[in-house]
Amino acid sequence: MRELKILWCNKMDEIKLTENHLSNDNYFEERKDLAAAFRWAERSNLHEAVANHFSLAVNPEGTQFLMNPNMWHFSRIKASDLLLLNVDDKSVLLGDNPPDATAWGLHGAIHKLCPHAKCIMHVHSVYATTLASIDECILPPINQVASMFFNRQVVDKNYGGLAFEEEGKRCADLLSDPKKHTFIMGNHGILIFGQNVAETFNRLFYFERAAKIYVQALQTGKTLSILDDVIAEKTAQELENEEYPNPAGTAFLREIKLILDQEKSDYSQ
């Protein structure tokens, strides 16, 4: 009888360990992808001190999502550090390790009201924010990279302060069109969404690059050479790789993770 009791106790301990392991490994690949994006965003100077947030919805309704902890530098975020949040559970703001309230309001509202926005990346990167700070803040198709965003931008000129819950809902109302994945937040920064981390980070990286080229082109004082609308739209569609099973950015994120792994980074822990 004592032997059976010991076996039973050992089995229960094994079950508990398994349950804990499964709990810790929930959305493991998604966590790794998002953590890698944080690390590369810092390396690419897309971050701003301990501000800004990336999030990834993990259910079809967009009500549950992963997001970075409040006031953590992008360079040290690991997969296991990401918070799993529920947009319908506001009590999380009063609990231990609460998320940033403005990020919870902005990202939560967009995920819930725009379920096509599976992954959201919001930054105040230098050139995107420079663009958002001028009156005509839409990015024109002056080259191939800028054409990625042709007719895919939403400009918000009604900045309403920090993005708490009501401001988040206001922003979400502007993002109902899945095609328009790039949100230029006037007097604020940039928010980009996509179907997954790879697609979204690819857009974020290239928007900052395109904005930098545009700002530098303006500084020359010369007349800009803007592509014809037909060619710009054709180029945008070609760059989206719509005919392929993997969206644009898949290879980029794969290479980012390979480089981080070769450097023995702890991002995936």
Residue 194 lies in a domain: yes
Query: Measured between alpha carbons, how far apart are the two ends of the chain, in Å?
Result: 42
pLDDT at residue 242, rounded to an integer: 55
For 160-190, the three-class secondary structure string (H helix, E strand, C coil) is CCCCCHHHHHHHHHCCCCCCCCEEEECCCEE
- Structurally, the chain folds into a number of domains equal to 1
Residue 268 lies in a domain: no
Angstrom CA distances, 58 to 30, 33, 159, 199, stand at: 8, 13, 29, 16
What pLDDT shows up at residue 16? 37
pLDDT of residue 163: 64
Q: What is the pLDDT of residues 69-96, one digit of tens each?
A: 999 999 999 999 999 999 999 999 998 8
Instruction: Write the Ramachandran bin of 195: left for phi over 0, alpha for psi from -120 to 50, otherwise beta.
Output: alpha
Q: Across the strands, what pairs with 83?
A: 67
pLDDT digits 0-9 by tens, 149-191: 999 999 999 987 776 778 889 999 999 999 999 999 999 999 9
3-state helix, strand, coil in the chain (%, to 5): 50, 15, 40
In a domain, 103, yes or no: yes
Would you say residue 13 lies in a domain? yes
Domain with 31, as residue range(s), is: 2-262
Helix axis angle for 250-262 and 197-219, nearest 10°, is 100
- pLDDT of amino acid 246: 67
Is 267 part of any domain?
Answer: no
* Per-position pLDDT tens, the chain of length 269: 444 443 334 444 433 333 333 344 589 999 999 999 999 999 999 999 999 999 999 999 999 999 999 999 999 999 999 999 999 999 999 988 899 999 999 999 999 999 999 999 999 999 999 999 999 999 999 999 999 999 999 999 998 777 677 888 999 999 999 999 999 999 999 999 999 999 999 999 999 999 999 999 999 999 999 999 999 999 999 998 755 556 789 999 999 999 999 999 999 99
User: Is residue 64 one of the residues assigned to a domain?
Assistant: yes
pTM of the model: 0.89
Nearest Cα to Cα of residue 121 among 43, 196, 201, 199: 201
- Return the residue matching tokens 């360079």: 75
**CA gyration radius, the chain:** 21
| Beta-bridge partner residues of 54 | 121
User: Tokens in use for 32?
Assistant: 């790794």
Which residues are paired to 193 by β-bridges?
Answer: 120
* pLDDT at position 244: 55
Residues β-bridged to residue 57: 65
Of residues 232, 226, 214, 50, the one with CA closest to residue 128 = 214
Is residue 232 domain-resident? yes
Q: What are phi and psi of 68, to 5 degrees?
A: -70, 150
- Please report the pLDDT score of residue 1 as a whole number: 47
Among 201, 233, 11, 193, CA closest to 109? 193
Structural domain includes residue 269: no
CA 42, 48, 53 angle in degrees (round to 5)?
A: 80
Domain containing residue 71: CATH number = 3.40.225.10
Q: Which residues contact 132 (CB under 8 A, 6 or more apart)?
A: 184, 185, 186, 187, 188, 189, 190
